[in-house]
Structure 1
Amino acid sequence: MTHKSSSAYTISIIGVLGALLIMQAYIPMVGYIRIIPGLPAISTMHLTVIMAGVILGVRGGAGLGLMWGVISLVKAYTDATDPLTLLLFQNPVIAIIPRVMVGIVAGAIFNHIAPSVLHGVGATVKMIAAGVAGALTNTALVILFTWLFFAHNATQVLAGANAANLWWLLMVAFATNAALETLMAGVVTPVIGQGLMRFKR
């Protein structure tokens, strides 16, 4: 692939994935799927950011992650659908940093572990690992930052919480989301990623 065609490919993928993030954010039940009322919806937006990391590398993943984080922040102020989202994602650190790290982790795993393996079974294994790690990164950092910012006033986050048990209650509250988002990432990343990687040959 020439430099010119590589740049065109990169710009095209960024445009497509960026547009997809916006559609996911604002089309009901596409980017955020609500199962349990009162708790944060299950996201599919991490899939787009993970895909950016895999296909475009760390910088591309971080850029799309930043876009997702800004969208999360804006939605928390303008279109929050539950009290926990309203509380947590109006904090720029909680809204943005975990999303950026999703793209960085996914990009680093796929592109810097056995970097010459870009196709076939080896690439599939790397894509699964990138997807799972990216999804878990988002959940883990949201929980960590929530604990750091709200441990002193834990009842704001969850009824009955205190500084001692907030971490565990957050893990329980996000358990369903984490499991489903991780499963989706592990399945979808190699399916779509392998198709997109063919165009980079």
Structure 2
Amino acid sequence: MRKFSTFQLTLMSLLIALLVIQTYVPITIFPGAPTITVGHIIVAIGAILLGPGGGLLLGTVWGGLSFIRALTMPPSPLSVLLFTNPIIAFVPRMAVGFCVGWLFKHLRARIKSTSILAGGVALVGTMLNTGLVVLFTYLFFVRNPAALLQAFGRASSTTGLFWLILIMLGANFATEAITAVVITPLITAPTLHMVERRHR
């Protein structure tokens, strides 16, 4: 495992501080729906600038913060049901950090535009996070959907459980995907060269 430079450790600390702040400033589109965060953007930026190892660490921190917030200060009933489950809280976030860093590292030689590549891998990371949350939520609640439906604010639903989860989380995904594609390249493109020069 490679070592991080002092500059990279400082950058990592800054990104972790931003993750802590965004965890406690939630945005919700629909009542009862999971909150929209910029955590995926922070993790994607870190993964691009610090590599898959740094991305994995940031994803783990993001998952831990989601887990702690759901236990202590949940923004919605649905957040309690989903993110007090360690698998739902940690695995998607960790996957985002590692996969975004890995993809950027291995595709950089083929895709010359840093901005296009950064936006593309950030989009993939957002899709991966939402997709895994949807998948794990379905797997954990498919046998007993009553609690999940109640958290959605529906005593019953004629819509299949999987599609209901996908629709509710999909509204968040659209906003998160757009912000990730726009913001991630704006920050990483001018910063990446400086990070690489200062890495020893």
Normalised TM-score (structure 1): 0.88
Shift of 1:161: 4.9
Does 1 or 2 have the higher relative contact order (CA < 8 Å, sep 6+)?
Answer: 2
Show the counterpart of 1:12: 10
Where does structure 1 differ by over 4 angstroms across 4 or more consecutive aligned residues? none
Question: Does structure 1 residue 189 correspond to structure 2 residue 184?
Answer: yes
Show the counterpart of 2:115: 124
Bigger drift between 151-160 and 86-95 goes to 151-160
> Which of these residues, 126, 138, 141, is aligned with residue 132 of structure 2?
141
> Which of these residues, 22, 25, 34, is aligned with residue 23 of structure 2?
25
SS in 1 for 2:144: helix
CA contact (8 A) 1:109 1:129 kept: no
Identity score, percent:
36
SS in 2 for 1:192: helix
Equivalent-residue separation in structure 2 for 1:161 and 1:67 (angstroms): 35
CA deviation map 1:82-135 (0-9, x unaligned)? 110011110000001001011112111211113486xxx611111011110011
Bigger drift between 100-109 and 57-66 goes to 100-109
Bigger drift between 189-198 and 141-150 goes to 189-198
CA contact (8 A) 1:135 1:182 kept: yes
Partner AA of 2:68 in structure 1: V
Normalised TM-score (structure 2): 0.89
> Which of these residues, 70, 77, 84, is aligned with residue 83 of structure 1?
77
Partner AA of 1:152 in structure 2: R
Question: Does structure 1 residue 171 correspond to structure 2 residue 166?
Answer: yes
**What is the root-mean-square deviation in Å for CA atoms of aligned residues?**
1.9
Instruction: Give 5+ residue unaligned stretches, structure 2.
Output: none
CA deviation map 1:132-183 (0-9, x unaligned)? 0011111000000001111001121123258x92111111111210000000
Bigger drift between 6-15 and 71-80 goes to 6-15
Equivalent-residue separation in structure 2 for 1:116 and 1:64 (angstroms): 26
